[in-house]
Amino acid sequence: MKLSLLLILAALAATVGRAQAAAPDPEATLRYIHAAWDTLTRSDTDCSSVADVKVAEVSVIYLPAEIATPPNVAALEHKCKVEVKHLPRKIEKLADVRPEELGAPGLLYLPNLYVVPGGRFNEMYGWDSYFILLGVEADHHEALAKGIVDNFLFEVEHYGAVLNANRTYYLTRSQPPFLTSMILMVYEDPASFAMTPAGRTEERDWLEHAYTVAEKDYSTWTRPEHRAGETGLARYFDYGVGPVPEMADDSTYYSDVIRALVEHPSAEAAGFLVKGPEHPDAVEAARLKQTSCDVRASVVCMRAWFGGYRLSRDFYEGDRAMRESGFDTSNRFGPFSGATEHYAPVCLNSLLYRYERDLAHMAHLLGKPQDARMWDRRANARGAAIQRYLWQPKEGVFADYDFVRRRPSSYAFIASLYPLWAGVATREEANLMEAKLGVFERPGGLSTSNTNTGLQWDEPYGWAPTNWIAVAGLDAMGFHADAARIAKHFDATVDAGFAADGTIREKYNVATGSAQVTVSAGYTQNVIGFGWTNAVYLKFREIAERPAP
């Protein structure tokens, strides 16, 4: 009896211990985040940076055609057992060099340290890095922050634009444009440059250079392929064709998409499927190259089959555009966002409006009034187009616009709040949007949509970047109580997830306020790291703990 009683007491003690260990502890979360920047920091002279689980190929580091091989990079051939190669020619714009020209995929060289998101995302990402910079700056790693922005300037100068990320298979697309916001974040931090006359000269020279490079990056979004018809707005677009190579580590993704489209046919998905055999002969392969993708050139294409069907060329165009948007995957632009390229999105055009306003501000700082007026005109024109095509006065929301069918989308998505952050929404519009926060607000933060599709960028999942854009926008428009409430709830969700398993994740279930995520199709992982969540957690603490005005 005594032994049994002791066993029972021990079991109870263990249960209490686990319960205590599982109690959310914001200080423990903070300690993890403060240490995580070192864990997530990479250098192109570090062997771990070359690793890429997304593609099982020989490790290669590619340098721009026009620069000599730095000695520390040359040393990697022996140190890391990698090949060091040069790109075949100088790149001026996206797709001047196509990934398929290069043979083996590889890492694109960057000169400075950078922070990766985590997990399978082991490279410097275009829009992740804006949010990561918020945290890096908040934790006073100013030199690291400036180095990251300098890496993006290097990308634009040598790889044609801010890339989705610094891998060769991303040479055909960018990501949501945050470059000017990153430039100004570094420029406006007093710790970025020495408080001396020489430091002030360096600061101005740096801004002058950054401004010129940002102008070039902006031109990415005004190319004919990125125009949303005759609206005066922009769309997402990838210059590549067929399925994306980086899905090689997810052998069922595209076949799962086909299965879902076959089992749940809809008018929206008309044209996304074509008939084709699992193992095509030469004649069928030639036909599929025109109607679907090149099964002879891409193992990802070959595997993309289910029930006698393959995905159409049009679907792949939309799929690639969706990946440039960063919102991969939801049903925002049709099933699996397969029609992304047909839309003028609220997010992209809000970001470009902010980009134009930022360039006008930089021009003023640099004493270029004529340039400033030009950027103001462009921002005003985009703002007018946003009001004409994206603002829906009857519903009181901003909505994506299908410029092919000439109609607004009725799909509620968190990007409708981007105009608050960008400064393009009027006071009246902001009031109407704030009144509808309940469309997205859940106990653990803001959901990306109010439609549960089983996809990771839909209900009930909430992400740090979209929660930040919404909260920062609400705060900027004077809705301080809303901003503080949402910030507090999202951070509590991160705390609960960290208490449960000692990790920070890329996304959360904001309906349950936990990291319990079950994605039924598309990306099924909830990756550990995680750069932008760490950063937004820190910024949300500032907002949540700020005294009420």
d(CA 502, CA 519): 21
Question: CA 447, 449, 450, 452 torsion: positive or negative?
Answer: negative
- The phi and psi torsions of 234 (rounded to 5 degrees) equal -115, 160
Check if the beta carbon of residue 175 is closer than 8 Å to that of residue 127. yes
What CA–CA distances, in Å, run from 64 to 92, 153, 334, 375, 449? Answer: 11, 14, 38, 31, 41
Check if the beta carbon of residue 406 is closer than 8 Å to that of residue 346. no
Residues with catalytic function? 328, 506
85-94 burial, b if ≥16 CB within 10 A, otherwise e?
bebeeebeeb
d(CA 481, CA 479): 6
Half-sphere exposure of residue 132: CA atoms within 13 angstroms, side-chain side: 28
Which value, to the nearest 10 degrees, does the dihedral of the CA atoms of residues 71, 73, 78, 84 take? Answer: -120
Picking from 502, 461, 485, the residue whose alpha carbon sits closest to that of residue 546 is: 485
**Token digits for 510?**
């904001």
Q: What is the 3-state secondary structure (H, E, C) of 414-481?
A: HHHHHHHHHCCCCHHHHHHHHCCHHHCEECCEECCECCCCCCCCCCCEEEHHHHHHHHHHHHHCCCHH
Q: Is 197 exposed, middle or buried (0-12, 13-18, 19+ CB in 10 A)?
A: exposed
Picking from 450, 261, 415, the residue whose alpha carbon sits closest to that of residue 343 is: 415
- The phi and psi torsions of 264 (rounded to 5 degrees) equal -130, 70
Q: Which amino acid is at 379?
A: A
What CA–CA distances, in Å, run from 510 to 38, 331, 460? Answer: 28, 19, 6
For the chain, the distance separating the N- and C-terminal CA atoms, rounded to the nearest angstrom, is 63
Rg value, the chain, Cα: 24
Check if the beta carbon of residue 183 is closer than 8 Å to that of residue 210. yes
